[in-house]
Chains A and B, each alone.
Chain A
Amino acid sequence: MGGALNHSGLENAYWGLMVVTYPFISGLVAGSFVVSSLSHVFHQRRFDALAPLAVLTSLALLIAAPLTVLGDSRQPSNFLELLTRDHLPYSPLSTFIVIWLTYIALMLVELYVAFRVTNARIGEGDGWWARLHRGLALGHRNTSERAARKDRKILFGLSCAGIVLAFLFHGYIGFVFGATKARALWATPLMPVLFIVSAMVSGIALMWLVHFLATRYVGRRPDRQVASGLLSYLMLFLLLDLFLDALDLLTSAVPEYAQGSAYYGFSHLLLHGPFTFSYLGVQLGIGVVLPLALWLVPVVRRSWPGGAVMTLAALVGVYAMRWNVVLGGQAESKVSSNTVVTTSVPLTGFDSVQTVLGVFAVALLLFLLLAWLFPWGQAHEAMSASPSSSDPAVFPGTGVGALGPMPAPAPGESPVSGGGDA
């Protein structure tokens, strides 16, 4: 049977697990893009090696993200209506197609520029692999330091625009919920901010894991400086997240401060109800408090398993946040007072665990394809041929400072990832 398609009754949670996953994946897009811009825009040299990987991750997830909403739509074959009769700028959802297409275009250009020198160098060889990379460099064969510097400048501009787009892409999703005044738990101006901050948390956590797994996969050691730097940023955004959650609690969960319906939903669903475990236990407990507490222990903070636990916990917590917002918000009844709309997540079929796993698998497939095609391990060496360039090594004002230059890769460690497959 159709599972979640077969709705009947007065009130339903029509948006299911796919809509839970959509903000999660788009948050990973925004977060991982900002990680890549740490190197491109803020000139944090220790993240140079991570930037190409972050670009690939972000692009793969960006392509996979709309599959979730396409899968949740009841008339997916009508999706072209978004292009032909888009309700701009009145509908928050209508901005999707504009932002997404712009973002895709920008990411493709960024992908080209970030890997152009590497592709051109590989293209100097013989065989189909070299021919392929000559094609990927679009015939631009100049690999001189001057050309690389010019590419870095272009990357700076692209990444600046990309940060704006990343925030727009995720902010609009927060606004889709924040603009829905019919749902008391959604209609708060905090919503876009909450979404963006948790997107940063999830994106940084994901990049920590991707860095760890990808470097181990190609047989190199993960970089401790990168890992500890990412963890510091993770803690920064977790603290911000905690602050926003406290603000949300104060304005929604205190009957004297909150609107009646918002308080009713918060107390009957999130604090004492079906979403208590996923809100207090997973979203706040595992997602925010646990990583913060673990980070305070130096032994755990410096160990690889410790970092993995912290980042995985943060990811789980962010997914729980999406779960609580999307499903929790719909569980509050609009017209049948004093009741809770029951929600269920089917294992297979429409809007189910199966389709969500499918989307994640598509993202993984795309990432593997991109990582095979674009030699991310060589890219940063090509781009930063002379680390002693005029760029300042410290991003002012972070206090995270004391950034030594990236340790130069050992000559024997020439990587990786497909470069030698031909």
Chain B
Amino acid sequence: MRGEQSRRSALKAFGAVGIAGAVSLLGARLRGLGAVARATMSKNAPARLAGKTVGRPKGAGATSAAAAEALYKLSPGWAAWTQPGLNVRDGWSEPDEWMPAIENSHGLPYTHNTFSRFEAPGKLAHHWAMVIDLRKCIGCQSCVVACKSENNVPVGVYRTWVQVIEVGQWDRDPEGDGPVVLEGGTYEPSVRRFSLPRLCNHCDDPPCVEVCPVKATFKRDDGLVLIDYPKCIGCGYCIQACPYDARFFNPIQQTADKCTFCVHLIDRGLLPACVTSCVARARVFGDLNDPDSEVATLLAAHATERLDISAGTHPQVFYINLDGDMVDAATAFNTIYPYAAGTNTNQYDELTGRVLLQAPTGGEGGVP
């Protein structure tokens, strides 16, 4: 049996580890909880941004703190982009002031579940949908730029993007004069390349809306899937549940974010920014409940395909001339390289030389 002394010292050691850990946890993440913290700390935000000691606005650091305050007032959002650790204590106290509010100008009904009550065709005033004619898409990415500009989408994340996909394979050139030279010989392309604009599919049975634990996202009865940003707790479940990877964390407001079909424009009778900016008129937006609309006539006249229909989400973005192999992207085995691959994928690592290129070993895939 050990002595009382050693027991007490062991208890002290355990307690010290526990307290240190608790402090570490609280300091690392759970800061700024509660209105008191907000009220007392938010006014010191510019000083914090300038790296000054908070609580003494007068003194040696006053000038640079004022400069930081001016910069902060000019562009609070972008200050956070370079410093994503910022939180309520840094002045992010009033989300309603800077977080975009979702408009519902016509007071349309919406739901967080039981989507079937929206399914009756013709019953509702509108059923917005998009038809994308891939025969016309030239992969210019102007819709991506227009979307970012219209919706103030931060750097590094996308509400819509155009995937440029190369399918086929690179064959080894027996004569050794192919355009790509690797250790094992030279290779020449036997490929086809096409563009695939992607965006939120505004599904009729959206899993992202169903899984939201706080009903922060909803489906309006004209078909739009939207987010009530100030309600979002940022758990990320909707992002995981979207089969189209259409949702992301907005790095500025730290909530889920996605394409809205430019709800602020279509509620005023205008077209989404990606549609108006499309140079080839590959993107067509309209009302499926109106049989004379362009989307309805296109759907009547052409065979269309939708992405990942096996997921059972009833997406409302239709594609004309979609390569059947790309419908379910994860199993598209003959893709060589999606040129719009994420920057944090192993293909991007290979492209940028972060890992050594390897000679393709067989017919399937391989990096040129």
Contacts and interface: CB of A to CB of B under 8 A. Distances in A.
Interface string B335-368: 1111011111111110000000000000001000
B88 to A, nearest CB: 6
A261 B347 contact: no
B231 interface: yes
Contact of B249 (A14, A78, A265): A14
Contacts of B24: 354-355, 357-358, 361
Interface residues of B, number: 87
A69 B20 contact: no
16 contacts: A8-B251, A9-B156, A9-B348, A74-B255, A75-B232, A181-B311, A333-B329, A336-B338, A338-B338, A338-B347, A341-B342, A350-B28, A355-B29, A358-B21, A365-B19, A365-B21
B335 A364 contact: no
A95 to B, nearest CB: 9
A8 B82 CA distance: 12
Given A219-B2, A333-B330, A82 B213 contact: yes
Contacts of B251: 5-8
Contacts of A5: 84-85, 251, 254
B249 A74 contact: yes
Given A357-B24, A358-B25, A12 B248 contact: yes
A318 interface: no
Contact of A93 (B21, B32, B213, B335): B213
B234 A73 contact: yes
A71 interface: yes
A260 B330 contact: yes
Contact of B112 (A90, A217, A335, A365): A90
B239 interface: yes
Contacts of A408: none
Contact of B83 (A2, A71, A218): A2
A282 to B, nearest CB: 21
B362 to A, nearest CB: 13
Interface string A81-92: 110011100111
Given A8-B155, A181-B207, A74 B330 contact: no
B341 to A, nearest CB: 5
B238 to A, nearest CB: 9
B34 interface: yes
A263 to B, nearest CB: 9
B135 to A, nearest CB: 21
A92 B232 CA distance: 16
A368 interface: yes
A180 B349 CA distance: 28
Contact of B255 (A70, A75, A340): A75
A180 B207 CA distance: 8
Interface in A145-161: none
Contacts of A265: 330
B211 A337 contact: no
B120 interface: no
Contact of B245 (A86, A92, A334): A334
Interface of A: 1-2, 5-12, 14-15, 67, 69-79, 81-82, 85-87, 90-94, 96, 176, 179-184, 217-220, 260-261, 264-265, 330, 332-342, 348-350, 352, 354-355, 357-362, 364-365, 368, 372
Contact of B214 (A69, A82, A342): A82
Nearest to B236: A14
B129 to A, nearest CB: 20
A336 B345 contact: yes
A173 B230 CA distance: 26
Interface of B: 1-2, 7, 10-11, 14-15, 17-22, 24-26, 28-30, 32-34, 83-85, 88, 112-113, 155-158, 161, 163, 165, 198, 207, 210-216, 231-237, 239-245, 248-249, 251, 254-255, 311-312, 326, 328-333, 335-338, 340-349, 365
B211 A76 contact: no
A181 B85 CA distance: 32
Contacts of B236: 14-15, 72, 74
Given A10-B245, A11-B345, A341-B342, A78 B214 contact: yes
A338 B365 contact: yes
Given A70-B30, A219-B7, A355 B25 contact: yes
A348 B237 CA distance: 24
Nearest to B88: A77
Contacts, number: 272
B93 to A, nearest CB: 10
Contact of A342 (B17, B33, B234, B346): B346
B327 to A, nearest CB: 11
B25 A75 contact: no
B21 A335 contact: no
A179 B237 CA distance: 11
A261 B18 CA distance: 43
Nearest to A351: B29
Given A11-B345, A74-B249, A87-B214, A354 B28 contact: yes
A87 B254 contact: no
A361 B329 contact: no
Given A2-B85, A6-B84, 14 more contacts: A9-B344, A10-B245, A11-B342, A67-B30, A71-B30, A73-B235, A76-B33, A181-B311, A339-B341, A342-B346, A349-B85, A354-B24, A365-B21, A368-B14
Contacts of A6: 84, 251
B211 A9 contact: no
A143 B245 CA distance: 62
Contacts of A334: 242-245, 329-330
A339 B18 contact: no
A418 B26 CA distance: 28
A82 B18 contact: no
A368 B15 contact: yes
Contacts of B242: 182, 334
In the A-B complex, the 8 residue pairs with the smallest Cβ-Cβ separation, listed nearest first, are A361-B21, A74-B234, A8-B156, A358-B25, A365-B18, A2-B84, A10-B342, A260-B331
